[in-house]
Chains A and B, each alone.
Chain A
Amino acid sequence: GQNIDQPTEMTATEGAIVQINCTYQTSGFNGLFWYQQHAGEAPTFLSYNVLDGLEEKGRFSSFLSRSKGYSYLLLKELQMKDSASYLCAVRDPTNAGKSTFGDGTTLTVKP
């Protein structure tokens, strides 16, 4: 089976940088997704990593280390609107139809 761990909550200050970690234990690996979910809204796709290293998309970057079973989402120049839950997810390596999501990290950005 697949298991994903994320911190439950984080708090950061507007304008700062925050790193949200995700560790996974899977029977194989074919990439990891990050989604953003504002309270009461639908999750939206942020990034996908399948190779080791950092991928940058504007203020958001995502990092992957396959050997360590570890990923993080880096948010720079935090804005109040970044207050949301951040979910990491993987697809089952033997059956891409099945997806496993972490419980999500709720980020609160304070002025």
Chain B
Amino acid sequence: EAQVTQNPRYLITVTGKKLTVTCSQNMNHEYMSWYRQDPGLGLRQIYYSMNVEVTDKGDVPEGYKVSRKEKRNFPLILESPSPNQTSLYFCASSLSHGFNQPQHFGDGTRLSIL
């Protein structure tokens, strides 16, 4: 089944403790992206990757890192999480970064930073 898989689905942790949210897609998609979603707000883009070893900042990259060493994986790293990073995170992928390419989303990761 074609899918985008995120782990963990839920995480409660403390300020300053490094964490990684993994994202993997099995559709051979070139493009991958991370978003955060806060109550009443739409999706805000954190980072994106147009292909292996190519990453770039979205609208809200502060406090996050990403890497794209393999086509299928695009982990999101919070080196020193803070409470304002408490949010619902979505990973997405699309066949390419073409303008007409819809994104396929993972089921989301709910992070709580205490």
- Listed in ascending order, the chain A residues whose CB lies under 8 Å from chain B are 4, 8, 30-31, 33, 40-45, 48, 50, 87, 89, 91, 93, 96-104
Q: Which of B55-114 contact A (CB under 8 A)?
A: 56, 58-59, 90, 97-108
Contact-residue bracket for chain B? 20 to 34
CA distance A97 to B66 in the complex (A): 15
CA distance A33 to B105 in the complex (A): 14
Known: A98-B58, A99-B43. 9 other contacts (CB 8 A): A31-B100, A33-B102, A42-B90, A91-B99, A97-B56, A98-B48, A100-B59, A101-B35, A101-B44
CA distance A103 to B41 in the complex (A): 5
Q: Contact: B102 with A48, CB < 8 Å? A: yes
Q: Contact: B42 with A104, CB < 8 Å? A: yes
Q: Which of B35-51 contact A (CB under 8 A)?
A: 35, 40-45, 48, 50
Q: Contact: B100 with A50, CB < 8 Å? A: yes
- Given contacts A42-B106, A45-B103, A97 and B97 within 8 Å (CB-CB): yes
Q: Contact: A48 with B103, CB < 8 Å? A: no
- 21 cross-chain CB contacts under 8 A: A31-B100, A33-B102, A41-B108, A42-B105, A42-B108, A43-B103, A48-B100, A48-B102, A87-B43, A89-B43, A93-B99, A96-B97, A96-B99, A97-B48, A98-B45, A98-B58, A98-B59, A99-B45, A101-B35, A102-B42, A103-B41
**Is the CB of B33 closer than 8 A to any CB of chain A?**
yes
